[in-house]
Amino acid sequence: MASSVLRWVRVVVASLFVAGAPIAVAEYVLGHHALAEARVETRAMAERYLERAEAAIGEGLTLLRDLKNANSVTCTMVDRQAFGSSAFQSTYIQQIGLADPKGTLLCGEPMGSLEQPIRLPAAERGDPSVMVGVLSDGRDDRQTFVLVRVDEARRLVARINRSALEFVTGPDYLSAAQQVAVYLDDGSTWMRRSGTWKPEQEPDSIEETAISTRYPLRVSVTVSALAARQTVAPLRSIILIGSAFLGLMVFGWGAVLVARGANGGDVFTRAVANQEFVPFYQPVFDMFTGEIKGCEVLVRWQRPDGSMVPPGQFLPYAEATGLIRDITTQLMHQTVEDCSALYSRHRGLKLSINLTAMHFVDLRIVDEIREIYETSGIGYEQLCFEVTEQHPLKDLTLSRTIIQRIQALGAQVALDDVGTGHGGLAYLQKLGVDIIKIDKMFIDNISTDHSSQSIVETLVELGNQLGLGIIAEGVERVDQVEHLKGIGVSTAQGYLFAKPLPAAAYLELAHAMLGDGDAGGGADDEAIADDLFAAVDAPDQTDPKAAA
């Protein structure tokens, strides 16, 4: 229970990891990429604004120097006309005029006065005769001026057009989330512009600064990192969906593994490793004499909790995985442990072991049989190996060889479930078995159903002609016993006589029936044997549960 919860936890963790890892990596890589991209854009924007600001100042200075050189440095009509036409022809200059050292405009063209004197501490680098300054009304109305010193009393002044820096640059995704500011070195602000977005809204906004090498000028552009990240949103969605899909796949796969583990899978493999498979023994009898002839070994899975799983529930899995080979090996070892004493004492007793198609793909089974039984108390001539007809044998020639090798040891081979499976009579002919086991299916209706009757009779006749032994399986009723005896079948197993028994119960029964006085308790044993054959008249006395 706890381990299954643990397995589910592992599946969930693995799925989350598989889905989460690409998301985290994508988040990191895409985020980084988007931010780096935005940083480059922002830097380019800052440089564009700086270029424009420098161009405006540069144009102002050029015009003023030209006027100074042309000696247009008075407020006379002619000079004012020169101011006006210079300003008119310029790109960024709105007005040109003359100011006194305090900054008061003496005249200006086109006409216009200043509300305040122009105080301009800022100067062009390396030339104190050239100044740049901002005149602010304390609110948002700012004017930027360029000045050139004429003499002690006069300065030429160019007022830069407000619209000089009113342009939009940069990618669309940043247009609504940017702030542009142009500063002079004295701390004054030439221009500051932002939309609804403010850098204060985001702790990790992107800021790039461009500094002029020609003028006391600095541009700062700040953009939203969130807006930058937004550019990779579609890609992120794709990765998100892909990762979720991947995670789901891993989850599904894990769920299948866990489910398999729950009813087979690694639980089953562990059960094989833990040797949880035990042999039960179903006695085989001579119906004429009532003698016990031996038994068939039938596997049971004894779970650690004590429950007993019948073979129908795990054999298909054991066969599909090939684990049946290990299980059969374990069973054979266990039969040596359980039965050696009894079988060495009663050399006439037989022990039948079921093999599957998996055992007929190579010669390993022959070596195993030899290794396990050679030095055991069970002789080869006491062993019989059953080959079922129900699953086709891949390589009939190899199967025939394996059967011959088993027979060469002295053991017998029986064809199980004859008439119900694939092989039919061809198997009988090609495999060279010693015994045929007539399936319960035909025995069930032997006294009532005509076709069952003829099949059994045909099989018996065939067996006799080929010199094969015959065992009837699944005998449950007295009428079946009578019928089988009537057609000369003497050997049978079935619930009427005994169900598959745990080792101790089988040994006790066999000792009793064989009159092993010292192995059990003399008179008691005989009584058990008598009771057993009284069972032919009063069935179901040998319930393995009762026996166990």
Query: Where along the sequence are the contacts to Ca ion (CB under 5 A)?
Result: 354, 386, 416-417, 473
Half-sphere exposure of 148 (CA within 13 A, CB side): 21
SS3 (DSSP) at 182 = strand
Stretch that binds ligand C2E, among 9-17, 30-38, 213-221, 348-356 (CB under 6 A): 348-356
Q: Determine if 298 is a binding residue for ligand C2E (CB under 6 A).
A: yes
- Give the one residue of 42, 188, 388, 412 binding ligand C2E; rule: CB under 6 A: 388
Task: Provide the β-strand partners of residue 107.
Answer: 98
The residue length of the chain stands at 548
Nearest one of 519, 478, 473 to 499, comparing CA atoms: 473
- Token pair listed for 84: 């006006």
Q: Which of 179, 222, 282, 376: binder of ligand C2E (CB under 6 A)? A: 282
Q: For ligand C2E, which is the closer residue by CB, 117 or 469?
A: 469
Q: Which does 495 bind (CB under 5 to 8 A by kind): ligand C2E, Ca ion, none?
A: ligand C2E
Taking the least distance from each CB to Ca ion, the nearer of 220 and 354 is: 354
Residue 331 is a binding residue for ligand C2E (CB under 6 A): yes
Rg (C-alpha) for the chain, rounded Å, is 52
The count of chain residues that interact with ligand C2E, using the rule CB under 6 A, is 26
- Could you give the CA distance from residue 268 to residue 261 in angstroms, rounded to a whole number? 8
Q: Which of 309, 315, 336, 409 binds ligand C2E (CB under 6 A)?
A: 315
| 474 binding ligand C2E? (CB under 6 A) | yes
Beta strands in 17-152 (DSSP E): 93-99, 105-109, 123-124, 127-136, 142-149
Put the strands of the sheet holding 123-124 in their side by side order: 105-109, 93-99, 155-160, 142-149, 127-136, 123-124
Q: CA 68, CA 91: separation in Å to the nearest integer?
A: 19
Question: Is the Cβ of residue 109 or residue 386 nearer to Ca ion in the bound state?
Answer: 386
Please report whether residue 352 would count as binding ligand C2E according to CB under 6 A.
no
Which listed option, Ca ion, ligand C2E, none, makes contact with residue 108 (CB within 5 to 8 Å by class)?
none
Q: Which residues have CB under 8 Å from 542's CB, separation 6+?
A: 495, 497, 498, 499, 501, 509, 532, 535
Residue 161 touches which of ligand C2E, Ca ion, none (CB < 5 to 8 A by kind)?
Answer: none
Binder among 101, 252, 310, 348 for ligand C2E (CB under 6 A): 310
| Mask for 475-494, x = binds ligand C2E (CB under 6 A) | xx----------------xx
Indicate whether 247 belongs to the interface with ligand C2E (CB under 6 A).
Answer: no
Q: Using the rule CB under 6 A, which residue among 46, 157, 232, 299 binds ligand C2E?
A: 299
CA-to-CA distance for 103 and 393, rounded, in angstroms?
113
Residues at the site binding ligand C2E, with contacts judged by CB under 6 A:
282, 297-299, 310-312, 315, 324, 328, 331, 354-356, 388, 416-417, 440, 473-476, 493-495, 500
